[in-house]
Structure 1
Amino acid sequence: MGGTMTAEALPKASQLRRDDSKWPVPPPDGYTVDDLFTLHDLPPHTELIDGSLVFVSPQRKFHTLAMYLLEQGLRSHVPEDLRVRREMAVVLGKRNAPEPDLVVVTAEADGDQRQTRYQAADVLLAVEVVSPDSEARDRDTKPHKYAGAGIPNFWLVEMAENDRPVVWTYQLDPVNKTYVSTGVHHDRLKLSAPYDIDIDLTAIDKL
């Protein structure tokens, strides 16, 4: 019959060559930071975790609004020698360059408009807003790597049952290179580190 597709019309697995794939074959030891910034046509916000490329899925509205709320709150009191940036890669080592949702960095580390990354030593705060597809990375993998790289402050942001953000805040134990909890914040985020911060978390209802 003219319009019927048979099994023979489909390519066999042996006929599919590796170089037909959209993505290059990973090196035996995984990708490096240099690869991340030189590979062509990677999706936006691709991260490098332990030598593997991690692609970001479409985000919920909560993720966008929480990022906006926290970014505006951080900017409203930021000292002149610091900068607030969103969705920029942070180089933690040869095979790790995650992209926190928000970072606070030193003004000296903030280059021209072509800048694509920061070094861990230049970051005072990393913020991750948890997404359903990245819970393990946001809650476990990334905090351990941020602490190991010496980033002094870390915030983990999740959606509470009332659809508002709840923020877990942590400071670095520099001896053990682990994070120590400094609080859980539901309606108001008021801190003195990395600088004086006061954010009304309930304001997300008006965004």
Structure 2
Amino acid sequence: MTEALSWPRHQITIEEWDALREAEDLRLEVMEGILVIAAQPYGLHQRAERYLANDVEAGVPTTFSAVHEVEVLLTEQPLTIRVPDVVVVPTALVDGNPHRYPAADVQLAVEILSEGSRRVDRVTKFSEYADAGIPQYWIVDLDDPITLTAYLLVDGDYELVAEATGSVDLDVTGHPVHIDVAALTRR
């Protein structure tokens, strides 16, 4: 962990980001060139992430894939890289196994709220994803009752399209996707 504390104390470049060693117990992102460190999510968060990715992928055509915990390059100058819980991107891009995904290829970004990320997910990432042109943004709150809030990018701003606590059908890449929100954490 001592090595982690010696990381750059200035706005880092994409080359410096690529040179950083992975920290196994930390989730790293870059916001306007500054490293952002958060703890790994707990079990229910991970289960919801996996179930949500599976549900979304089942509804979109095979030309799109839902993947989780991948880097998304929002801007290169200043460097902003986020790691959404789930994203939908072209399958051809996933098949190329890139190190990160350009925001221009992300059709949907999903964040599952965790302690310490609520304001970042609802405010900071909300505006970052809109500024990057990501067409859809969903926020999942695992507090009882579990809630999925869906936004659609309209003229550069996100507009609320759904807020559900039970089941909901949402459009993703022009295709209906059924999400059982209440079941996202149930085995």
Tell me which amino acid in the other structure corresponds to 1:188: S
- Counterpart in 2 of 1:14? none
- Counterpart in 1 of 2:57? 75
Runs of 4+ deviating beyond 4 Å: none
Q: Which of residues 136, 150, 169 in structure 1 aligns to 2:150? A: 169
- Where does structure 2 lack aligned partners over 5 or more consecutive residues? none
Structure with more of its chain in strand, by fraction = 2
CA deviations 1:144-196 (Å, max 9, x no partner) are: 0110010000000102324xx210000001x3x21111010111121123321
2:2 is the alignment partner of 1:32? no
- Counterpart in 2 of 1:110? 94
Percent identity over the alignment is 28
CA deviations 1:67-99 (Å, max 9, x no partner) are: 122112112122021111100000011110000
CA deviations 1:29-81 (Å, max 9, x no partner) are: x1123322221244453111121111221423321121122112112122021
- Cα distance, 1:60–1:79 mapped onto 2, change above 3 Å: same
- Cα distance, 1:64–1:26 mapped onto 2, change above 3 Å: same
Distance 1:188 1:182 in 2: 14
Q: Give the aligned length.
A: 182
- Counterpart in 1 of 2:160? 181
Q: Which of residues 69, 80, 101 in structure 2 aligns to 1:87? A: 69
2:81 is the alignment partner of 1:97? yes
The 3-state SS of whatever aligns with 2:19 is: coil
- Counterpart in 2 of 1:196? 176
- Where does structure 1 lack aligned partners over 5 or more consecutive residues? 1-19
The 3-state SS of whatever aligns with 2:117 is: helix
CA deviations 1:92-136 (Å, max 9, x no partner) are: 1111000000000012322434x2200011000000001111112
Tell me which amino acid in the other structure corresponds to 1:118: Y
**Is contact 1:126-1:155 (8 Å) kept?**
yes
* TM-score when normalising by structure 2: 0.88
- Counterpart in 2 of 1:53? 35
**Is contact 1:33-1:91 (8 Å) kept?**
no
